[in-house]
Structure 1
Amino acid sequence: MPAATSAIKLPRESGRTGRFAVSLAGFLISVALTFLGLLAITFFIGRVVPIDPVLAVVGDRAPRAVYEAAKLQLGLDKPLYLQFVNYVVSVLRGDFGMSVSTGKPVIDDLKRVFPATLEMATIGIIIGMVLGIPMGVYAASHRGTARDQVIRVIGLFGYSVPAFWLGLVGLAVFYARLKWVGGPGRVDIFYDGLVTPVTGIMLIDSLIAGETDIFFNAISHLLLPASVLGFFSLAYIARMTRSFMLDQLAQEYVTTARVKGVPERLVIWRHAFRPILVPLITVCGLSYAGLLEGSVMIETIFSWPGIGNYLTVALLNADMSAVLGATLVIGAVFIAINKISDALYRILDPRAR
């Protein structure tokens, strides 16, 4: 009898292992194909834009011989499909080319600027989640009331107001007028360069260096741009949370809990809120990815030395290597967060498996 029991368990365990391996292989193939598609899009966009990458390197007054030599060195004399293959191989090696703007390898520039964007977007999504989720729950539980309408108007304002306008108004009011926050940049100019970069995130590096003055100064500079980004994520998260909660509050089990006399607070947060945690993970993940890729305007307004500001300068200087590298990193981050959210969704919700 024990032998028969073990014989039954072994096929089940092997079957589960096989299904997990197939699922993992499918996930990795999906990521690889998506990344390959991203590489193709960035490459061909770089070839169809009306910017000559050779002229960006040698200048428009270079002799014809210098132009042809640079074109040969960049590999632009080869057929387009061979250029794409070489581009994919170079990217997989971590070689994004040289930046015309800085004279440094693009990969080194991206390592320097991306942590600043990550820092601002992370604080922004925390603000959006901490405020947006309770606002959405409160609006759903008070549907049709004036409080619900106020929260919906705030969400509509977050969707419709231009980012550059909100950033400029924030600088004019809270920095220039009220002096509540720091101005453009990550720290005041006399603190610049005093902290040795370790992680690239100023708040962490200043604490590692024991520079509490720089830490609080960095917070004052970070608060306003992160709040502007957080406001846009707040609008999206609050709207989606309200929609999810309205669907749950209309379910029969919620009505049953109310009939049994369960306090309304427990009905909302224990019975109705728990089932929406899984889809909220996807919502917050997509919102976070959107902040990482959509911070170009905010970084430009606040002179924030992140990847958005780097991309803007590269575009103005026709620096296509830097443009393609920054675009590729932003796209890769979006793909990674999307895939992680999808994986967490499947892990936490058995119905999605």
Structure 2
Amino acid sequence: MADVVNVVPRRLAVPERASLSSWGWAAGRTVLSVAATLLGLAALTFFIGRLLPLDPVVAVLGDNISQETYEAMYRQLGLDQPLWIQFASYLGHVVRFDFGNALTTSRPVIADIVRVFPATLELASVAIVIGTGLGIPAGVIAAMYHGSWIDHLVRLVSLLGHSVPTFWLGLMGLVLFYATLGWVGGPGRIDMIYELDIEPGSGFLLLDSALSGNWEVFANVFGHIILPASILGFSALAYIARMTRSFMIEQLGQEYVVTARVKGMSWTRTVWGHAFPNVAVQVITVVALSYAFLLEGAVLTETVFAWPGFGRYLTNALLAGDMNAVVGCTLITGLIFVGLNLLCDLLYRVFDPRTR
């Protein structure tokens, strides 16, 4: 009996050590993968910035400068150093989130991004709520009634969401719902008469106005955000509904679904209680990717609606040849995608025990 008692703990400890080791290897691979991705992105943005036909000295000082002033600024920017030294210096600044000063605003790029990003985050968050709240049920229902008119309608809406240009939808929405019907607010985040009524806070105007109890301002902000968010949400809805429909059609053809139906389980309970949980992980990936694309791809929508966000800031920087701002926005976009991918990996372990 003593031997048995001594053996059991040792046998139980082996899987624990193996589990800790596997977690360590997984964490190490994740860190190396993220580091390699960000290093590659930084190298790509650095060398593209050097290959573009833009003179950084002229961009800073203008055309009407003397040769002595040009050479002094050339040395001050470190452009006389070998390329690998310039890249090492560039990486040293990037790891401190120092992207230099923006030529268009004369302020640090990171300060500009912190100032404009909440507007885009608020817009994209409302859009993804609309896209997810309508896209997932639409995809599931289309799969439930595969081949019916409901399925064809969902497929048509998905096709339109992918095909119709976003800027055209934005212009038509402004003409119809703002200029003609007056149901929504116009361009911008808020009417000028309310700008002084909202106290600076998180940068999310809906949240700040709600926390302060100023519901008149909240209604005005909501009237401005609902149209651009719905247009962005429509494109997200199209993608989410199409992918959810494909995942569910595959699941509904499995044997466990047939077995559940034979045992007398209702069709709705079979679909939502048994089939949908098996595609939840895949749907999470689709929603996360849609959210990332909304955060960095709302350029046209923000331009049409004069939305003072991240996409509009990046557009103005590109048009002005402001490479410091362009590079900073590119790296922040890469961080967004990497962060959302890591979040997906964590959610996989929550919703799918097989990945633990």
Band the TM-score falls in, shorter-chain normalisation:
over 0.9
Matches within 5 A, 1:203-352: 203-352=206-355
Q: Is the 8 A contact 1:99 1:105 kept in 2?
A: yes
**How high is the TM-score relative to the length of structure 1?**
0.96
Structure 1: tracts of 5 or more residues without a match = none
Contact 1:282–1:342 under 8 Å retained in 2 = no
- Is the contact made by 1:121 and 1:292 (CA closer than 8 Å) also made in structure 2? yes
Question: Equivalents in 1 of 2:210, 2:128: separation in Å?
Answer: 22
Q: In structure 1, what is the equivalent of residue 110 of structure 2?
A: 107
Structure 1 residues 126 and 166, CA gap change in structure 2 (3 angstroms): same
Residue 131 (str. 1) matches residue 146 (str. 2):
no
Mapped partners of 2:69, 2:196: distance in 1 = 38
Counterparts of 1:197 and 1:72 in 2: how far apart (Å)?
41
Distance 1:107 1:12 in 2: 46
Distance in 2 (alpha carbons) for counterparts of 1:314 and 1:196: 28
| Amino acid across the alignment from 2:158 | G
How far 1:46 moved relative to its partner? 1.3
Give the fraction of aligned pairs with identical amino acids, expressed as a percent.
52
RMSD: 1.4
* 1:51 Cα offset (Å): 1.6
Query: Could you say which residue in structure 1 is the equivalent of 2:38?
Result: 35
Q: Is the 8 A contact 2:240 2:286 kept in 1?
A: yes
Counterpart CA distance in 2 for 1:269 and 1:347 is 18
Please name the residue that 1:176 is paired with: 179
1:117 aligns with 2:120: yes
Letter in 1 for 2:98: D
CA separation of 1:233 and 1:259: change in aligned 2, threshold 3 A: same
Does residue 141 (structure 1) correspond to residue 151 (structure 2)? The answer is no
Separation in structure 2 between the aligned mates of residue 143 and residue 134 of structure 1, nearest angstrom = 14
Query: 2:108 is matched by which residue type in structure 1?
Result: P
Alignment length, in residue pairs? 353
- 1:54 aligned residue: 57
Contact 2:124 2:291 survives alignment (8 Å): yes
Q: How far off is 1:352 after superposition?
A: 4.7
Of 80, 84, 88 in structure 1, the residue corresponding to residue 87 of structure 2 is 84
1:230 deviation in Å?
0.3
1:187 partner amino acid: I
Report the equivalent of 2:10. Answer: 7
Residue 250 of structure 1 deviates from its aligned partner by: 0.6
Correspondence for 2:68 among 55, 62, 65: 65
Q: Aligned partners of 2:8 and 2:29: how far apart in 1?
A: 32
Confirm whether residue 95 of structure 1 aligns to residue 98 of structure 2.
yes
Q: Given that residues 280 and 351 in structure 2 are in contact (C-alpha distance below 8 angstroms), is that contact kept between their aligned partners in structure 1?
A: no
How far off its partner does 1:76 sit? 1.6
2:197 and 2:53 mapped to 1: Cα distance?
A: 41
In the alignment, the residues of structure 2 paired with residue 326 and residue 112 of structure 1 have an alpha-carbon distance, to the nearest angstrom, of 13
Distance in 2 of aligned mates of 1:93 and 1:223: 36
Report the CA distance between 1:89 and its aligned residue: 0.7
Give the unaligned 5+ runs of structure 2: none
In 1, are the aligned partners of 2:188 and 2:224 still within 8 Å (CA)? yes
